Chain A
Amino acid sequence: MLLRASGAATGTATEVAPIVEPSGDTGVSHGRVLIELTEAVCRRSPDLAQVRAAVLDAVGPAGLVEAAATVGIFNGLVRVADGCGIPLDDGTLSISTADRVALGLDRYGGAANTDVSRTVAPPSDDSVRSLFH
């Protein structure tokens, strides 16, 4: 949700399908190499050094630090979310239906923690805050 929302806010036409099945362009600057880094870290790939060098070339050392921090902390966050079995926040549930269906996210095991059939009023505005209530 925040990828789509931040894309809209920054005037970046983002395509979310490659999040699940990486092919095609996400519309995000240097998106391809950032996805490759994410995959190499999560899969403990032997290509990691090569991918890391490509990220360094693309976004510089400070960008590599940000990328590394993001992939690191989200590997923790997914374990917090699924380990504790939290449901989706209502705001996110209400606006994510189309993307969840299109991307097949409702088949993930953690979907059982949320009643996805529940009708929730859409957020009162399009701010990020409204997604997490």
Chain B
Amino acid sequence: MRMAGPPAVTDPFAPERFPVAVREDLLEAQRTAWDRLAAPGAWLTGAERHDVADVARGADPHSEVGRVAQWITVSPQSVDRGWASDQVATLGAERYVETVAVTATVVAIDRFADAIGAEVAPLPDPQPGTPTGERAAEVVDIGAHVPIDATAQGANVGRAMSLVPAANRLFFALEQRMYTSGDEFWNLTWDRPLSRPQVELIAARTSALNECFY
């Protein structure tokens, strides 16, 4: 007689998919970001966002946004003003920013899975629908490759994608759970499983390996 196995796990961020206990808020943040990956965004369709996500984990690109995703995934340190200007001219700054956000989100979640020893989550199916067209009402030029929201405050990296608020939220809601949340960022002596110097050591080495100046 064949015994029934355990029920299939359909939630790619279910706790049992990870080899050690992961905080529920961290799983929920990744689950939420993942659910939004292939839904229509502000400037990309669900199918386009799915393609970007697929390229961010190694698929060959078949579109302009896919080619941008590939470059940013594989060689972010070589993104210069000339290349970025060409892509922005082709895609529009809003679609470029959203491509960066989806790419960065997939890379962050996948590298977490690698580090902890879990399988990477299967990509969600593309969702139908129309992008919202949301963008910042007023923008400023701070010398970046793209304009930013004139009302955005804080560190430049935190407002880098603020031209498209939904794109900025997609990534930074995740960042709040994977790095620091709210005022915790200002606390250099926090009481967490890793000390602040331990976390910043990993952060700095990751930046150096990617040759990131910022």
Taking beta carbons and an 8 Å cutoff, which residues of A are in contact with B?
A: 2-3, 5-10, 12, 14, 16, 19-20, 22, 26, 28-31, 34-35, 37-39, 41-44, 48-49, 52, 56, 59-89, 103, 105-106, 108-114, 127-129, 132
- With contact pairs A65-B116, A109-B77 given, residues A30 and B198 touching in the complex (Cβ less than 8 Å): yes
Is the CB of B195 closer than 8 A to any CB of chain A?
yes
Closest 3 CB pairs of A and B: A72-B112, A76-B108, A85-B145
Residues of B within 8 A of A110 (CB): 77, 79, 211-214
Cα distance, A66 to B212, chains bound together (Å): 21
Q: Are A7 and B193 in contact (CB under 8 A)?
A: no
Cα distance, A73 to B202, chains bound together (Å): 11
Q: Chain B, interface size: which category?
A: 35 or more
Q: Could you give 14 example pairs across A and B, Cβ below 8 Å?
A: A10-B189, A12-B197, A67-B194, A72-B107, A74-B206, A77-B104, A77-B175, A78-B210, A78-B212, A79-B103, A81-B157, A84-B146, A85-B143, A129-B186
Residues of A within 8 A of B105 (CB): 76
Output the least CB separation between B207 and chain A (Å).
Answer: 6
- Give chain B interface residues in 140-183, CB to chain A under 8 Å: 142-146, 154-157, 160-161, 171, 174-175, 177-179
Is the contact region of chain B dominated by helix, strand, or loop, or is it mixed? helix
- Having A28-B201, A86-B160, A88-B214, one finds 17 other A-B pairs with CB under 8 Å, namely A2-B203, A3-B197, A6-B200, A34-B194, A34-B205, A38-B205, A42-B210, A65-B21, A65-B23, A66-B193, A68-B112, A72-B178, A73-B112, A81-B157, A85-B81, A86-B142, A113-B214
Is the contact region of chain A dominated by helix, strand, or loop, or is it mixed? helix
- With contact pairs A65-B22, A72-B108 given, residues A79 and B72 touching in the complex (Cβ less than 8 Å): yes
Residues of A within 8 A of B209 (CB): 38-39, 42-43
Q: Are A35 and B175 in contact (CB under 8 A)?
A: no
Closest A residue to B109 using CB positions: A72
Cα distance, A129 to B145, chains bound together (Å): 25
Cα distance, A62 to B197, chains bound together (Å): 16
